[in-house]
Amino acid sequence: MNSLQCNTLKLTLAVAIAGLLLSCETIGYYTQAARGQLSILRGREAIEQLLEDPNLAPQLREKFTAVLSIREFAEAQLQLPVGENYLTYVDVSRQHVVWNVFAAPEFAIDPMNWCYPLAGCVSYRGYFSETAALRYAEDLSARDLDVYVGGVDAYSTLGWFNDSLLSTVSERADYQLASLIFHELAHQIAYVPGDTVFNESFATTLERAGLRQWLLLEQHTDLLALAETERVRQEQFVALVSQYRARLADLYQQELAAADMRERKGQIQADLRAEYTALQLQWDGYSGYDNWFAGALNNAQLSTVSSYNELVPFFTDLLESVDGDFPRFYAEVNRIAAMDADTRAQLTNSTTQ
């Protein structure tokens, strides 16, 4: 059995599991997901073979060479399970590889969750077609829910398949590609189904630590300051959105008529936009979040930011406690990941307060 046949069997098995456990509507959803993933697998081209093509675009040649170097660093220095990941390239011929649909009640900040046999419960539903994502979003909106659709440029298959470099990220700077690869490979080290905060906080911690080491090794000291600036801006962005989610949560606790509630919600959203504009002045006009703020800023959209990095301080302290030894760090993370949800939450939350 060759690699593609093996991967097709895995996809068939996943859809079969869904068919045993879920409704006909959900089977259709899993079918599109399987077809989308299969199209990625079928579109893979070996990077080393592409590098032998004299007609390969110079920009792609540079990126492919960088990715191979980043892979070597990830395996040798970070002890990440590189395996056969990022040895292939896929041109998906679209702006994003997946579109995620988020939804939340009009007057509540907690998003809807969807549960899957392999990944657990998460606050989004992903589609390989923008049209399908928008169609599903319209269905949710018709149920008077706040809805948001966001494009995704890369994702991890959690070790089920060998992940590829996608055209959706091929124009990113080398240090951004390094961050992406470290982050996605981290999900193959530890992943707790249904615990997005734990999973993303761990991956973000590893991404940041790995990027710093990579930049130092590559002697890109000039980029260290840029990476730090981007990190600070991200944290300020998350803090700003979290602050206004808290204001909305307080509003929704009040006993108000729907019309009054809606009016006050709109004012809070307007205040958020105004404060973002003021924050940009501190960023010398940096516009990296402009597209995000062009959205509705409804409950569904705000939920995409909330607390994904909430446990980064915990994991950062944990990494320091083992003197930056990555294998020991991974062992500790997996020990904590194996705990029951209440014990894990008590441990991680008690050390971040």
Q: Which amino acid is at 38?
A: L
Its pTM stands at: 0.87
Q: Please give the helix or strand (H or E) that residue 9 lies within, else none.
A: helix 3-21
State the pLDDT at residue 2: 47
Phi and psi at 151, nearest 5°, equal -80, 145
Distance of CA 306 to the CA centre of its chain: 13
Residue 88 and residue 50: Cα distance in Å, rounded?
9
- pLDDT score recorded for residue 256: 97
pLDDT at position 14, please?
44
End-to-end CA distance of the chain: 52
Distance between CA atoms of residues 125 and 100, nearest Å: 5
Distance CA(129)–CA(106), nearest Å, equals: 26
| CA angle 169–173–178, rounded 5-degree value | 75
* pLDDT (tens place) for every residue of the chain, 353 residues total: 445 444 444 444 444 434 433 444 577 888 999 999 999 999 999 999 999 999 999 999 999 999 999 999 999 999 999 999 999 999 999 999 999 999 999 999 999 999 887 778 889 999 999 999 999 999 999 999 999 999 999 999 999 999 999 999 999 999 999 999 999 999 999 999 989 899 999 999 999 999 999 999 988 888 999 999 999 999 999 999 999 999 999 999 999 999 999 999 999 999 999 999 999 999 988 999 999 999 999 999 999 986 678 899 999 999 999 999 999 999 999 999 999 999 999 999 865 55
**Token pair for residue 73?**
């660093």
* pLDDT score of 7: 46
Contacts of 149 by beta carbon, 8 Å cutoff, 6+ apart: 99, 100, 101, 102, 130, 133, 134, 137
pLDDT of residue 351: 59
Distance CA 297, CA 302 (A): 6
Q: Would you state the structure tokens that stand for residue 162, as one six-digit string? A: 């060998």
Q: Which two tokens stand for residue 129?
A: 């077609």
Residue whose C-alpha is closest to residue 153's, from 144, 162, 165, 142 = 165
Contacts of 238 (CB under 8 A, 6+ apart): 305, 309
Q: What is the pLDDT of residue 27?
A: 79
From residue 28, alpha-carbon distances to 5, 132, 180, 310 in Å are 22, 11, 30, 34
> What amino acid occupies position 50?
L
Strands (E), the chain: 45-46, 88-90, 98-105, 114-116, 120-122, 125-127, 145-152, 165-166
How far, in Å, are 70, 77, 319 from residue 211 at the CA level?
10, 11, 14
Q: What is the mean pLDDT of the chain?
A: 91
CB atoms under 10 Å from CB of 132, counted, come to 16
What is the DSSP secondary-structure string of 49-113? HHHT-TTS-HHHHHHHHHHHHHHHHHHHTS----TTTTSEEE---SS-SEEEEEEEETT-SSPP-
| Helix or strand run (H / E) with residue 317 | helix 312-321
Q: What is the pLDDT of residue 292?
A: 96
Return the number of other C-beta atoms located less than 10 Å from residue 285's C-beta. 7
Q: What is the DSSP letter of 22?
A: S
Annotated domain spans of the chain: 1-42
Residue at token pair 């006909």: 24
The Cα angle at residue 269 between residues 296 and 310, in degrees rounded to 5: 90
